[in-house]
Chain A
């Protein structure tokens, strides 16, 4: 500002400090924007916060670990204070990871804090995404933020895996070997990518240092960037809210940031930190000293990857390598010789990519089917979008089948069943599970919607049995109050939208397909109770007789 027009005279001390800061950085705009910004409150909005806070704990504990960890794969002999490994040859990385566990006070606690928060971080991101999916919070205008969230999920898994590999113990080394096998399966370039990654042949002496760079610099930087973009978009869009009395598409109802929301959210950070601290103090995670240094020959049976890698490991396990005498290592004859396409590894990899791709694409799929181009700021209760809930449950079942497959050997040993049978069942569920999941979830959602209609039209069951003068028994129903009534009726229910002709009167193929999908999704629907229906129900309900199933439930 070239001409200081200084009329504002601060009267209080806060005012003077604010004035000083504001004239230099213009912070008053920020305070005005955020100081009393409204955030809706609901327990399901907490998962994103948990993700953010565990990430902060990861940064804090990770910084401590870097002070003592040396990611070198140079050979050394163990000299630390853990007796069983004294004199054993190992890499410097493993040595310093052991030092962190036994010779640096608080090092073990920090390692555990780091590992537990990492597990919780990916879990929180996943549950947060499920919340966003099942409530339809990804709809316009938030589609891009859904994509950013998906990228964060992938980055979280990448951060987890690169970190898991750093201690260079037997378990993490075998994990890297599996990655090497997957990379080698990539057609044409796989062999070279593997050589570039490992600095030559597996395991080489380069990989831990390289993963370290990715783990402590590149991936966290990308996560931070994506978190910033994510939160920026939350501010631009304002938070979604649950439908309910007084809550519309045009407003946000909740608590102001200062002081209530900031206090609750800030306090929640400390609660998350405390809980992770408690877990880290009492429950051992990744006891690398039990595994020993990496050696390509031994492996322990019954080992599991960290939970978020489970679905990938399970996909690898489920794929059959041979069908009878047919091998999934396809040998393709070329003029220059035979090349191998390792379909036994490529197919599972494509399944994973496909599931992630479907997740990213869903907002646009839903928009295409419904042709709904309006903004949505009110959340759907999952029951009020049966088709979406069905699709989501199908996805969750699919994921869980893969996830369970990663423990197929432990399932077999714990439940005393044959390993091969476990695999055959899971292979069957791989195909049938999502279909059943879709049907069951959608049916449950529709049933719950009907129950809501029932409650709206005929009131809630009062638990009081009355006897009529004729001696008949019936239960008294009480009308619900207006707020509850509105909550149960204020939702949208998509209808089948048949294929539509374009301007030239032509119905395109994709439009026909859209029509079919629309029919499949919305053929069965339960419409919200209308005012007319309610009035009619109330007028003829003076004598609260409820003949179950006799009234018209479907809105059609």
Chain B
């Protein structure tokens, strides 16, 4: 067979078809002995074995009927479950019933086919998918159709048709513009990603209850999940929350490496950072006190709190944005302003 490697051809001892097939054997290959002789099964020769197989199939089908009944028992006898245990019991009975009902039929039929139906293998010959003449005819028809339509001879018709067809799908594309239900302009779509519910004087409150946090409540080493005050009264609380959630932690002020422009963004070692991971937006929910690391449980991006949440490991590519905070006259923590950069993952217009 290695003699006709890469053979694109036609010539082969067995039939010179238009389609070249592999295994167009050379003389040096080992002879095909043909199909092995059929070996009769026990059920072919022993009437008692056949009878036994017949009974087995019948029993399997009967098991299926029992399974169906079991399903109905599970459904009606257990009724509407009133506890988790009953829910589990019902689910198990339904599963068991289905399994018996289906496996009974399935195994029964396969057993029937394997023991009682003829097991002689039959050979059928393959044909070409299409013959050469068919292909020629088809080519001719297409040529005739093109010729009769005159599309090649009349370029005006062809070109204007191409133009019209190219333009026609545009409405189908632009009609999807209002998939954004907010009626926002393109500029607004980009701009709103830069703003959150935080603003000067907005109190930091506990997530989800919304009670304000006093600076004195925040111990060194502790962490708070924070939302802006009044979040739940907003029009789209979930949308706002998806951008505004913040993590609040207190560290020893000496541990913090603060850049000059952020010197007044913390209050006595209390710092607030966006909880939205800058990788693909999961909540950065894990805080490791001893190392001062924040870890995102989705893809393990790790941020160093002492270095203004610089990425020290994982797939995130920029630091978590910091929320500048201070305290109001009553001693509650408040924001000094909104975030100074967009929260969450990078996007084209982020800059």
Q: With A and B bound together, what is the CA distance between A141 and B21 in angstroms?
A: 10
B349 at interface by CB-CB < 8 Å: yes
Contacting pair A201 B345 (CB below 8 A):
no
Known contacts: A181-B280, A327-B318, A339-B348. The answer to whether A196 contacts B241 by CB under 8 A is no
Contacting pair B113 A295 (CB below 8 A):
no
Contacting pair B279 A530 (CB below 8 A):
no
- Complex contacts, A490 vs chain B, CB 8 Å: 23, 29-30, 32
Contacting pair B241 A250 (CB below 8 A):
no
Known contacts: A195-B189, A260-B117, A275-B99. The answer to whether A341 contacts B348 by CB under 8 A is yes
B225 at interface by CB-CB < 8 Å: yes
- Complex contacts, B113 vs chain A, CB 8 Å: 259-260, 263-264, 267
Instruction: Tell me the residues in window 35-78 of chain A with beta carbons closer than 8 Å to chain B beta carbons.
Output: 36-38
Q: What size tier do the contact residues of chain A reach?
A: 35 or more
Instruction: Tell me the residues in window 15-56 of chain B with beta carbons closer than 8 Å to chain A beta carbons.
Output: 15, 19-24, 27-36
Q: With A and B bound together, what is the CA distance between A36 and B120 in angstroms?
A: 13
Contacting pair B106 A344 (CB below 8 A):
no
B331 at interface by CB-CB < 8 Å: no
User: For chains A and B in complex, what number of residue pairs have CB atoms within 8 angstroms?
Assistant: 406
Known contacts: A103-B80, A199-B180, A271-B102. The answer to whether A486 contacts B30 by CB under 8 A is yes
B337 at interface by CB-CB < 8 Å: no
Instruction: Tell me the residues in window 79-127 of chain B with beta carbons closer than 8 Å to chain A beta carbons.
Output: 79-82, 87, 90-96, 98-110, 112-114, 117-119, 121-126
> A493: which of B1, B119, B186, B315 is its contact (CB, 8 Å)?
B1
Chain A CB within 10 A, most for which of B7, B90, B110: B110
Interface code B219-250, partner A: CB below 8 Å = 1, 0 otherwise?
A: 00000010100000000101101110100000
A273 at interface by CB-CB < 8 Å: yes
Which segment, of A126-134, A370-378, A471-479, A503-511, faces chain B? A370-378
- Complex contacts, B114 vs chain A, CB 8 Å: 264
Contacting pair A278 B106 (CB below 8 A):
no
Q: With A and B bound together, what is the CA distance between A313 and B296 in angstroms?
A: 14
Interface code A407-451, partner B: CB below 8 Å = 1, 0 otherwise?
A: 011000000000110010000000000000000000000000000
B11 at interface by CB-CB < 8 Å: no
- Complex contacts, B160 vs chain A, CB 8 Å: none
Contacting pair A105 B90 (CB below 8 A):
yes
A255 at interface by CB-CB < 8 Å: yes
B165 at interface by CB-CB < 8 Å: no
- Complex contacts, A296 vs chain B, CB 8 Å: 238, 241-242, 245, 276, 283
> B239: which of A36, A202, A298, A372 is its contact (CB, 8 Å)?
A202
> A255: which of B102, B122, B190, B243 is its contact (CB, 8 Å)?
B122
B258 at interface by CB-CB < 8 Å: no
> B297: which of A238, A252, A299, A341 is its contact (CB, 8 Å)?
A299
B73 at interface by CB-CB < 8 Å: no
Contacting pair A248 B32 (CB below 8 A):
yes
Nearest neighbor of A420 in chain B, beta-carbon distance: B313
Interface code A476-517, partner B: CB below 8 Å = 1, 0 otherwise?
A: 000000110110011111110100000000000000000000
- Complex contacts, B245 vs chain A, CB 8 Å: 296-297
Contacting pair B91 A112 (CB below 8 A):
yes
Contacting pair B314 A321 (CB below 8 A):
yes
Interface code A288-309, partner B: CB below 8 Å = 1, 0 otherwise?
A: 0000001111111111000000
Contacting pair B110 A329 (CB below 8 A):
no
- Complex contacts, B5 vs chain A, CB 8 Å: 372, 492, 494-495, 497
A109 at interface by CB-CB < 8 Å: yes
Contacting pair B285 A199 (CB below 8 A):
no
Known contacts: A182-B280, A200-B239, A250-B14. The answer to whether A274 contacts B103 by CB under 8 A is yes
Which segment, of B149-157, B298-306, B322-330, faces chain A? B298-306
Contacting pair B32 A280 (CB below 8 A):
no
> A200: which of B92, B180, B207, B345 is its contact (CB, 8 Å)?
B180
Known contacts: A191-B348, A200-B239, A273-B102. The answer to whether A102 contacts B23 by CB under 8 A is no
B184 at interface by CB-CB < 8 Å: yes
Which segment, of A150-158, A172-180, A212-220, faces chain B? A172-180
Contacting pair B22 A492 (CB below 8 A):
yes
B8 at interface by CB-CB < 8 Å: yes
Q: With A and B bound together, what is the CA distance between A321 and B309 in angstroms?
A: 14
- Complex contacts, B24 vs chain A, CB 8 Å: 249, 374
Interface code A247-270, partner B: CB below 8 Å = 1, 0 otherwise?
A: 011111111100110011011111
Instruction: Tell me the residues in window 314-357 of chain A with beta carbons closer than 8 Å to chain B beta carbons.
Output: 316-322, 327-329, 331, 337-345, 348
B275 at interface by CB-CB < 8 Å: yes
Q: With A and B bound together, what is the CA distance between A291 and B334 in angstroms?
A: 32
Task: Write the nearest CB–CB distance from B302 to chain A, whole angstroms.
Answer: 8
Contacting pair A195 B184 (CB below 8 A):
yes
Contacting pair B99 A281 (CB below 8 A):
yes
A85 at interface by CB-CB < 8 Å: no
Q: With A and B bound together, what is the CA distance between A256 and B121 in angstroms?
A: 8
Q: With A and B bound together, what is the CA distance between A105 and B82 in angstroms?
A: 11
B321 at interface by CB-CB < 8 Å: no
- Complex contacts, B311 vs chain A, CB 8 Å: 321-322, 327
Q: Chain A: interface secondary structure?
A: mixed
Contacting pair B110 A264 (CB below 8 A):
yes
B181 at interface by CB-CB < 8 Å: yes
Chain A CB within 10 A, most for which of B31, B96, B314, B349: B314
Known contacts: A178-B282, A268-B110, A297-B241. The answer to whether A38 contacts B123 by CB under 8 A is yes
A197 at interface by CB-CB < 8 Å: yes
B256 at interface by CB-CB < 8 Å: no
Task: Write the nearest CB–CB distance from B30 to chain A, whole angstroms.
Answer: 4
Contacting pair A192 B286 (CB below 8 A):
no
Contacting pair B238 A249 (CB below 8 A):
no
Contacting pair B280 A178 (CB below 8 A):
yes
Nearest neighbor of B80 in chain A, beta-carbon distance: A105
Nearest neighbor of B286 in chain A, beta-carbon distance: A301
Task: Write the nearest CB–CB distance from B252 to chain A, whole angstroms.
Answer: 25
- Complex contacts, A555 vs chain B, CB 8 Å: 2
Contacting pair A271 B103 (CB below 8 A):
yes
Known contacts: A177-B282, A195-B180. The answer to whether A370 contacts B315 by CB under 8 A is no
Chain B CB within 10 A, most for which of A182, A250, A370: A250
> A528: which of B1, B180, B227, B286 is its contact (CB, 8 Å)?
B1
Q: With A and B bound together, what is the CA distance between A296 and B285 in angstroms?
A: 11
Instruction: Tell me the residues in window 355-369 of chain A with beta carbons closer than 8 Å to chain B beta carbons.
Output: none
- Complex contacts, B177 vs chain A, CB 8 Å: 196
Contacting pair A374 B29 (CB below 8 A):
no
A206 at interface by CB-CB < 8 Å: yes
Q: With A and B bound together, what is the CA distance between A342 and B318 in angstroms?
A: 10
Q: With A and B bound together, what is the CA distance between A482 and B33 in angstroms?
A: 7
Contacting pair A252 B124 (CB below 8 A):
yes
B193 at interface by CB-CB < 8 Å: yes
Supply 26 A–B pairs (Cβ within 8 Å), ascending by A. A38-B124, A106-B90, A178-B280, A178-B282, A195-B182, A199-B180, A201-B239, A202-B281, A249-B126, A256-B122, A263-B109, A264-B110, A268-B106, A282-B95, A295-B241, A298-B285, A320-B314, A321-B316, A327-B317, A340-B349, A370-B6, A373-B8, A374-B24, A483-B33, A497-B6, A528-B30
Measuring CB to CB, which residues of chain A are less than 8 angstroms from any residue of chain B?
Answer: 36-38, 81, 101-103, 105-106, 108-109, 112-113, 141, 174, 177-178, 180-182, 184-192, 195-197, 199-204, 206, 236-238, 243, 245-246, 248-256, 259-260, 263-264, 266-275, 277-282, 294-303, 313, 316-322, 327-329, 331, 337-345, 348, 370-378, 408-409, 419-420, 423, 482-483, 485-486, 489-495, 497, 527-532, 534, 555
> Known pairs A281-B95, A296-B242. 18 more at Cβ < 8 A?
A81-B82, A178-B282, A199-B180, A200-B184, A200-B236, A236-B129, A238-B124, A245-B33, A246-B123, A252-B125, A253-B123, A259-B113, A280-B98, A317-B314, A342-B317, A345-B345, A374-B21, A531-B30
Measuring CB to CB, which residues of chain B are less than 8 angstroms from any residue of chain A?
Answer: 1-2, 5-8, 14-15, 19-24, 27-36, 75, 78-82, 87, 90-96, 98-110, 112-114, 117-119, 121-126, 129, 176-177, 179-182, 184, 186, 189-190, 192-193, 207-208, 225, 227, 236, 238-239, 241-243, 245, 275-276, 279-283, 285-286, 297-301, 311, 313-318, 344-351
